[in-house]
Amino acid sequence: MDYVDRNIKSELDNNSFFRSPEFQELLKRVDGHTVMGSNKLIFVYEISLNYKDEPMAEVGVYKGGSAYIIANNCEKEVYLIDTFTGLPKVSEYDKHKEGDFRNVDYIEVCNYLEPFKNVKILEGLFNERKNDIPETEFGFVHLDVDIYEATKECLEYFYPKIRNGGSILIDDYDSSATEGCKKAVDDFFENRKEHCITLGTTQGLIIINKEDEK
């Protein structure tokens, strides 16, 4: 499968409903650094703003586009984790192939995100780097890993660490190209209170409900 970076500038021209000048400016700055369209990035922008004074994380950084928006909006630490060599081994539930999204250069991503002093980039498999994330209570976590195992691993790690009322945005929840991701989310929340809200963009939003733990 070939992946084409989104032509954000042309989307910007055709989407006059994104009226926030700040969001429009961010779209210009992430152009060429993301496979996400402006219809999805608006949710990354709006939801992260809601948690701006709390720690955030993203797994699935690729060339850094969605991470740039998160880092811009967050006044606390932002942890960004990716292999930066493409997808690891996939499962029977995934349509993606190992190595998809490997056309990325770790140093270039570091340079691109260098203006944000609140960012900590962890290169490698999530499961091998998660212990380098300090014990933190998160407000917002963005998962854009596309595949079953990584989605499962990330939910197992982050769910207990997100505060009551915090959010997880899953980029690939409702896409026929990433059914493994949906399975991991649905399995994880099957016996939990939260419901993954589909946003109509293939993204899913989970608002953490820990009322019973109080």
Ligand X SMILES: C[S@@+](CC[C@H](N)C(=O)[O-])C[C@H]1O[C@@H](n2cnc3c(N)ncnc32)[C@H](O)[C@@H]1O
Name the residues that contact ligand X, by CB under 6 A.
34-36, 59-63, 65-66, 81-83, 86-88, 101, 125-126, 144-147, 150
Nearer to ligand X, 11 or 88 (CB): 88
Q: How far is the CB of 213 from ligand X (least distance, A)?
A: 28
Task: Identify the DSSP state of 139.
Answer: E
Q: Which residue has the tokens 């212990």?
A: 131
Min dist CB 44 to ligand X, Å, is 8
Please state the closest distance from residue 174 (CB atom) to ligand X, in A: 15
Work out how close the CB of 86 gets to ligand X at its nearest, in angstroms, rounded to a whole number.
5
Pick between residue 23 and residue 88 the one whose CB is nearest to ligand X. Answer: 88
Q: How far apart are CA 123 and CA 85, in angstroms?
A: 9
Closer to ligand X by CB, 77 or 146: give it.
146
Q: How far is the CB of 143 from ligand X (least distance, A)?
A: 9
Instruction: Provide the β-strand partners of residue 207.
Output: 167
Residue type, 109: V
Is the Cβ of residue 67 or residue 162 nearer to ligand X in the bound state?
67
> Which stretches within the chain are classed as H helix?
8-14, 21-30, 38-50, 65-73, 106-113, 126-129, 148-158, 179-189
Strand partners, 58: 80, 142
Considering only CA atoms, which of 34, 119, 25 is closest in space to residue 76?
Answer: 119
Nearer to ligand X, 77 or 82 (CB): 82
Element (H, E) at 145: none
